[in-house]
């Protein structure tokens, strides 16, 4: 049984979509949770309220993890508000899709800065308190786009592939201090971003997926909860695909 009682988790980009599902699942298993959000305070407050309704302690911190000082402030706020940090889930991410020949420099830089550098800054900030405690669970949300590449997503695929390398390097560097680092690679998930896709495209994606459907955000949350638990204490440096069989490596 996954038991996160007494643990404290940070989930970046935790106010909506996959991030919210992860935060709620960790809380269901007993963790107190700090979520970060960039702009939607209403959604963040709703997530905090849902977690509080479970009897857990929850806080929301506004900021942009792409900025090193903001990432540090998030970890500092967690330590101040919740007393410790046991679990870090790097979920915050953005997309700025376009073909390579048309992609603007800002669209490349913004995606790399948020999805890859933002994860690095947050890990960097969390490393010292986790090392001091000699315990930690770091889970990075990568993507099938980082494993197989995706047309029109050179920036996103590069950032998500970079997260896999960052995951493995972090796992090697921190293992001796009782800290694991793994990644979850979702396939296509039912969120606000996918619900408005063209019906023909949706059917084409389902046809490419052996299980024949999109994932629910809660299924990503379940994978993260497992990796955050002591049930996964001997797993580190791994990429867990939650994609219905879309990418088999």
User: Tokens at residue 137, please?
Assistant: 């669970």
Instruction: State the chain's maximal CA–CA distance in angstroms.
Output: 52
Catalytic residue, from 37, 135, 156, 234: name it: 156
Q: Tell me the C-alpha distance between 104 and 188, whole Å.
A: 25
Tell whether the torsion through CA atoms of 71, 77, 80 and 81 is positive or negative: negative
The helix (run of H) or strand (run of E) holding residue 141 is strand 136-141
| Secondary structure string (H, E, C) spanning 187-202 | CCECCCCCCCCCHHHH
* 37 counts as catalytic: no
Active site amino acids: 156
């Amino acid at each position: 049984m996954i038991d996160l009682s007494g643990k404290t988790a940070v989930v970046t980009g935790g106010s909506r979509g996959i991030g919210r599902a992860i935060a709620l699942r960790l809380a269901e298993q007993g963790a107190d949770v700090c979520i970060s959000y960039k702009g939607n305070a209403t959604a963040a407050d709703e997530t905090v309220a849902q977690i509080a309704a479970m009897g857990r302690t929850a806080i929301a911190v506004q900021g942009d993890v792409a900025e090193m000082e903001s990432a540090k402030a998030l970890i500092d706020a967690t330590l101040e508000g919740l007393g410790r940090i046991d679990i870090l889930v790097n979920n915050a991410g953005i997309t700025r899709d376009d073909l390579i020949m048309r992609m603007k420099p800002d669209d490349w830089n913004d995606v790399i800065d948020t999805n890859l550098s933002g994860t690095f800054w947050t890990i960097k900030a969390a490393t010292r308190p986790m090392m001091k405690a000699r315990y930690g669970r770091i889970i990075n949300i990568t993507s099938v786009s980082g494993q197989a590449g995706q047309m029109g997503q050179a920036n996103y695929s590069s950032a998500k592939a970079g997260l896999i390398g960052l995951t493995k390097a972090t796992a090697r560097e921190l293992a001796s201090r009782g800290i694991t680092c793994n990644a979850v690679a979702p396939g296509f998930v039912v969120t606000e971003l996918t619900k408005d896709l063209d019906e023909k495209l949706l059917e084409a994606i389902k046809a490419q997926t052996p299980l024949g459907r999109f994932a629910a955000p809660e299924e990503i949350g379940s994978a993260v909860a497992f990796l955050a638990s002591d049930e996964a204490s001997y797993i580190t440096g791994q990429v867990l695909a939650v994609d219905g069989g879309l990418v088999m490596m």
